[in-house]
Amino acid sequence: MASTYRRRFGDRKEGRLLRSLPAFNKFIPFIMPQRNDRYVHYEESMDIAAVDRRLRALRVEGYKGIGLLHFFIACHIRAISMLPGINRFVVGRRIYARNNIEIVMAVKRELSLDATETTIKVVFEPTDTIFDVYRKLNAKIEEIKASDENNGTENFAEFASHLPRFVLRAGIGILRIMDYYGWIPQSLLDVSPFHGSMIITDLGSVRLGPVYHHIYNFGTLPVFIAFGPKRTAYELNRRGEVVERKYVDAKAVVDEGIVDGHYYAQFFRAYQYMFQHPEILETPPTKVVEDIF
C-alpha cells in the first residue's frame, strides 16, 4: 500500500525527518555526534543447512550462481519490510527514515591483485524477493565487469585525486557541511558509497573469515555486514550423537543511534528465522510495515 506522505520542511532528498521519536532518541545524536561513537558489534554463526539445500535447488532450476550474497541481501530487505527502523539514518544531529532501500557493496572486475575495484549501489523495494535481488544485483555486477569505463563513483574519485591537497581537503569539508544540511545534489547521492541502507561484503569469496568493519562517519550508512566462507562443524545432538552441521559466520557493525538494542535483537532474530525458513524469501511479504512519522 503506497504511502500518502508528502514531503515537509526539514525532510531530506533521501529521507523524511522522524518527528514523533521519544525525546531520549532525539538526544542521542547530540551526546554521540559521530557514527563511530555509536557503533555496536554483533556476530552470529548461521546454520545454513536449509539455505544450502534451497540454493542448490534454485541453481538446478536455472538461477546460475545464486548464493549466500543474494540470500543475505534478501534477508535484509525482508527484515526492513517488517522492522523499518533499521532503514533509518542519522545526519545533522537528526534521525530520518530512508525513502528506499539502497545496498552498497565493493566489486572487483576480476579476482586478481591488479584488477580494479569499484563500488556499486543497488536500489530495492521492501516487497522484493530473492529472485528480484538475483536479477537486480547480477545485472549491476555484470554491467560493471563488462565495462572498461569508470562508473560515477570512480569518475568522481579520479577527478578529486588530481586536485591539490589543500583544495581536496577544503572540498571534503564543504561536502561534510552540505551533507549536514542535506544540500548534496541527488546526482552525487546516487553514486556515493557512503550513503545507503547497508553495505555488505562477501569475504567467503576470497576465503577469508568475516571482520568487524567500521561504519563511516561521513554519509548515512548505519549497517556494515561481513560474512565468511561456509564451514563444517561436528557437534553433539541431544542424544549425545556426533552430527555434522554447516555454518556461515557473520559480523555486523551497526549504528545504535537509529534504534535501541531491543529493536536490533528483533532484527537479528528475523535474520535467524529466515535462515531456517529460506522459502519465505521467494514470495513478496503479505504486509510492509511503514516507519513512524
pLDDT at residue number 163:
86
Q: Cα angle at 242 between 238 and 248, to 5 degrees?
A: 95
For domain 15-282, give the CATH number.
Answer: 3.30.559.10
pLDDT at residue 2 is higher than 60: no
Retrieve residue 141's grid coordinates. Answer: 555486477
Q: How confident is the model at residue 144 (pLDDT cuts 50, 70, 90)?
A: confident
Mean pLDDT over each residue of the chain, to the nearest integer: 92
pLDDT at residue 148 is higher than 70: no
| For range 129-146, the mean pLDDT | 91
pLDDT at residue 188 is higher than 80: yes
Q: How confident is the model at residue 158 (pLDDT cuts 50, 70, 90)?
A: confident
| For range 194-210, the mean pLDDT | 94
| Cα dihedral across residues 105, 108, 112, 116: positive or negative | negative
Per-residue pLDDT of 100-124, as tens digits, reads: 999 999 877 666 666 667 889 999 9
Q: How confident is the model at residue 151 (pLDDT cuts 50, 70, 90)?
A: low
Identify the weakest region by mean pLDDT among 12-21, 38-47, 112-121, 185-194.
Answer: 112-121
pLDDT at residue number 142:
85
pLDDT at residue number 115:
60
Q: How confident is the model at residue 157 (pLDDT cuts 50, 70, 90)?
A: confident
The answer to whether the beta carbons of residues 15 and 182 sit under 8 Å apart is no
Bridge partners (DSSP) of residue 227 are 202, 250
| For range 29-51, the mean pLDDT | 95
Nearest alpha-carbon partner for 190 in 222, 156, 146, 224: 156
Task: Compare 2 and 111 and report the one with higher pLDDT.
Answer: 111
Identify the weakest region by mean pLDDT among 84-93, 112-121, 225-234.
Answer: 112-121
Q: At what angle do helices 165-181 and 152-161 cross, to 10 degrees?
A: 140
The answer to whether the beta carbons of residues 50 and 71 sit under 8 Å apart is no
Sorted by where each begins, the domain ranges of the chain are 15-282
